[in-house]
Structure formats: structure tokens, C-alpha cells
Amino acid sequence: MELRRVLFRSMPLALAIRAVAPALVLGNAVILKPDPRTAVSGGVVLARVFEEAGLARGLLHVLPGDAEVGEAVVTEPRVRIVSFTGSAVAGRRVGELGGRLLKRVMLELGGNGALVVLDDVDLDRAVRAGAYASFFHQGQVCMAAGRHLVHENVYDEYVERLGEFAEGLTVGDPSRETVALGPLIDAAQRDRVHQLVSASVAAGAKLVAGGRFDGLYYRPTVLAEPEEPTPAYREEVFGPVAPVRPFATLGEAAELVADSESGLVVSILTADLGRGMALADRVPGGMIHVNDPTIDHEPNAPFGGMGSSGNGWRAGGAKSDLDAYTETQWLTLRTALPKAAL
């Protein structure tokens, strides 16, 4: 069986090995097509590791290229399984092309994660969890919190503290220990982040912190949302931006979480586990975390979302990998050919 693995550029090495390793172990040959912006870290490095480990020639091919290259591989008849990580727009195209040929297509797409802060929580810890959820890896992670939903009783204080925390973070060369945030992937992504922030401020959001950049270094940004959602709240920004919106009841919080096309991850922060679990039962999402940030992943735990975040496939764990990279076959065996039934 031949597998084609297409990668996004958020965490290229981790995303690559998560699919390539189990696919190879289960007897497949693999074509790995990394994002052209991360062709080395998301492709060549991994190929070199497998080469040094003695992997037989011809089992792993790294094929960098643009969307045209990706579409050609998806539609190649000898490719029987396609695993894709990337945006919902690109994922729909991959699903369309694979579906025409009745291929198994596994989609892990973008998210606009919700971080819900209840009014009984330790606010200092909640602020740190919220900052980590939105600013880790400069927000360039599908699990990043793109919506902070905060109970109205602690909303003002949370916004103030998160803004102060953001202003205190150092942005620069990530190889330095004192630096918290490094650069965005390229100028196009920086411009998109800034356009979403600017459009949101124009739509009524209050700029609490950030909203400025130097080269590819974008300051961690906090936006106090108006009543009508802004672009930075509605869309997956893929940058260090934390839009914050208040709610009054658990019911309203559940409605706000559900009011999104994506359904990847939800984080609920509370001192009352009963309230946390009650809300967890009411919200959609492929992964729900109570008292953990949205960025929470274990390689042996099923990873994936619903809605525009994926098509139901889950990556990780023995059962998921077996289902993904093998075919089910029924085999019978008799010691001798029986007499005909007729």
C-alpha cells in the first residue's frame, strides 16, 4: 500500500513523524510532501534519519513542492491513502480530489480553539494558561486558543492581567533563553495577522496589548471583543492574538463555543470539576480539556476534530494508526476442499 502524507508548516517535524513512522511500521511505502516553506525540517531531516537507521531504499520519498505537486500526488492511482494536515480550504480540495477516486482521505484541519474561564478559577494561573494557549509558537499551532471566553465576573480583571502579561513577554531570537516568542513563518503570514488585528480594531475591538510588529516579530496581542464578533475572533489567525469575550452563564458559554465552524479543541478552566465536566458535556470538539490549555497533546491519544477541523479521522494511538494505515481483510482456511453443497 502507498501512503501520501501532506503537511502544513506549523510543527513540521512532529506532524511528519506522527504519520510516517506508523505507516512504515505497518508495511506501507510513503510519499511525504512537506510545506515548501519547511521542506528541510518537515521532510529532508526525517528522510536522513530513516536513511541513517537503515530503512530500505524506495520506502520513503520526500517530494517538496507547491499545490500543483500536491494535487498530482493525491490523484496518482498508485497512492491509495492520503493523510493531510493543513487549512480547511486546502483540506476540502484534497478531500474532493481523493473522493472522486474513492480513496481513503484523512484530514486534520485548522481550528479556532476556545478557552473558557469560569469565575471560580485561580486567575493568575488562568492568565498564564491563556497566554500559553494563544502565544506558544507565536500562535502558529492548530490547537492555539483563538477565542477566550471569560465569565463576566472576572472578565475585566482577566483582560487587564492578560494584557499586562503579554506586554511583559520578550519577542526576538528564540535561541535566547529570555525570549518567549520568535518570528512568524513569513511576511505574508505577518501581513495577514496584522490585517485581521487592524480590521478587528476597526470593527470595535479594544487593543489591550500588542498589535505591532518589527520585521517578522509580532508582539503578543490581546483584544477585548465588542458584542459583535470581529474577524480575529471568527477566523483562525495563526498568530499570537488573543480575542477575549465575556459570558454570563454556562449555557451562554456553551453556545459561544459551538458558534464556530471549527471543532478541534476546547479548554475549560475552573476550580469546580463538576462545573467543568458539566460544560464539557455540552460543547462540541474533538478534544476537550478541563484545567489544561488548548495546546495539550499526547502521541498515544487520538488527535483530531469535527466540523471544518477534520473529517472524523483521529491521529495517534495504536487503534487509530491500525485503522488508518491498514486494510481489513477476511480470510478463511479449510484443511481440505469440502464436498459441494449442491
Q: How far is CA 102 from CA 28, 67, 77, 109, in A?
A: 19, 20, 10, 20
The CATH code of the domain at 2-109+310-325 is 3.40.605.10
Tens digits of residue pLDDT in 22-39: 999 999 999 999 999 999
Confidence band of 282 (pLDDT split at 50, 70, 90): very high
pLDDT number for residue 312: 76
Amino acid, res. 187: A
3-state SS assignment for residue 224: strand
What is the rounded CA–CA span in Å between residue 235 and residue 257? 13
Rounded CA gap, 289 and 113, in Å?
11
The model's pTM: 0.91
Which pLDDT score is estimated for 78? 93
Q: Does residue 8 surpass a pLDDT of 80?
A: no
pLDDT per residue over 231-245, tens digit each?
Answer: 999 999 999 999 999
Question: Which helix (H) or strand (E) covers residue 74, if one does?
Answer: helix 67-74
What residue spans define the domains of the chain?
A: 2-109+310-325, 113-290
Nearest-5° Cα angle at 131, 171 to 225: 105
Give the Cα separation of 320 and 309 in Å (integer): 17
Residue 205 has pLDDT above 80, yes or no: yes
Helices 318-325/12-25 angle, 10° precision: 70
Residues contacting 259, CB < 8 A, separation 6+: none
User: pLDDT, tens digit, for every residue of 72-125?
Assistant: 999 999 999 999 998 889 999 999 999 999 999 999 998 999 999 999 999 999
Supply the pLDDT for residue 6.
52
Please check whether residue 259 is in contact with residue 147, taking contact to mean a CB–CB distance below 8 angstroms.
no
Give the integer Cα–Cα distance in Å for 132 and 57. Answer: 41
pLDDT per residue as tens digits for the range 245-263: 999 999 999 999 999 999 9
pLDDT on residue 329: 94
What is the distance between the alpha carbons of residues 275 and 265, in angstroms, rounded to a whole number? 18
Of residues 210 and 320, more confidently modeled: 210
Instruction: Tell me how far apart the alpha carbons of residues 238 and 261 are, in angstroms, rounded to a whole number.
Output: 16
CATH topology of domain 113-290: Aldehyde Dehydrogenase; Chain A, domain 2 (3.40.309)
Encode pLDDT of 42-66 as tens digits: 999 999 999 999 999 999 999 999 9
Rounded to the nearest integer, the mean pLDDT of the chain is 93
Query: Amino acid letter at 227?
Result: E
Ramachandran bin of 50, using left for φ above 0, alpha for ψ from -120 to 50, beta for the remaining angles: alpha
Query: Within 13 Å, how many C-alpha atoms sit on residue 336's CB side?
Result: 2
- Alpha-carbon distance 2 to 143, whole Å? 29
Query: Would you name the residues annotated as active-site residues?
Result: 108, 142
Residue 135 is predicted with a pLDDT of 98
d(CA 174, CA 166): 16
Among 253, 44, 54, CA closest to 147: 253
